[in-house]
């Protein structure tokens, strides 16, 4: 089964845990993002799913591009996004070309591909922010994010907030960083 079929199937069955914005996202938005960009800006939500973070941003004056491999998820985003400034792009992130210096904010939740980080960082405008939350795998699985690895992948950004904590049989890394001016 290819990735698009896999995610279309998951969204067809429903993923209610991915319908509301993540608590870390809301906390960082309220404490930092909204203060850094009081008038909003240009954002991209990578692996956006049904757009839980994109919708929150669009309701607060941000222009958002929501990128996901699942056309089912993006179709579900259309109705709640009808009055919002959200552009959708249905593609595999491994094939997507992020434009350079285009975004004030990049949102990346639970999609991990080491090779994507240089493009993400390049896509940020000076002073732009990256917010992400990623699963930390077991050290025996080298394809998953490892402890402290996110800090290495984002070493050129100024770290605003970084936390690693256990969740079930794995861990999670929560990060907010700024591209230097």
pLDDT digit string, tens, across residues 42-100: 999 999 998 999 999 999 889 999 999 999 889 888 876 666 789 999 999 989 999 99
- Cα separation, 29 vs 24, in Å, equals 8
Average per-residue pLDDT for the chain? 90
Mean pLDDT of 91-119: 95
pLDDT of 5: 72
Q: How far apart are CA 174 and CA 103, in angstroms?
A: 20
Instruction: For residue 15, name the pLDDT band (cuts at 50, 70, 90).
Output: low
Which pLDDT band, with edges at 50, 70 and 90, does 19 fall under? confident
Query: Both tokens of residue 108?
Result: 């990346």
Q: Could you report the per-residue pLDDT of 25-43, keeping only the tens digit for each?
A: 999 999 999 999 999 999 9
Lateral strand order in the sheet of 158-167: 86-90, 63-68, 42-46, 103-109, 124-136, 170-178, 158-167
**For residue 18, what pLDDT is reported?**
66
- Check if the beta carbon of residue 122 is closer than 8 Å to that of residue 98: yes
pTM of the model: 0.90
pLDDT at position 23: 95
pLDDT score of 8 more than 90: no
């Amino acid at each position: 089964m290819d990735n698009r079929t896999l995610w279309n199937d998951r969204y067809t069955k429903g993923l209610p845990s991915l319908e509301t914005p993540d608590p870390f996202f809301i906390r960082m938005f309220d404490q930092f993002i909204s203060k850094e960009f009081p008038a909003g800006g240009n954002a991209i939500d990578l692996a956006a799913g049904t757009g839980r973070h994109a919708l929150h941003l669009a309701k607060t004056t941000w222009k958002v591009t929501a990128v996901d491999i699942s056309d089912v998820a993006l179709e579900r985003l259309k109705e709640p996004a009808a009055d919002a400034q959200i552009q959708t792009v249905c593609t595999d992130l491994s094939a997507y070309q992020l434009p350079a210096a285009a975004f004030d904010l990049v949102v990346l939740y639970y999609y991990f591909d080491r090779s994507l980080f240089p493009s993400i960082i390049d896509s940020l405008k000076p002073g732009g922010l990256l917010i992400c939350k990623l699963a930390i795998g077991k050290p025996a699985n080298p394809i998953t994010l490892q402890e402290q690895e996110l800090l290495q992948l984002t070493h050129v950004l100024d770290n605003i907030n970084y936390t690693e904590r256990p969740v079930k049989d794995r861990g999670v890394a929560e990060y907010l960083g700024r591209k230097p001016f």
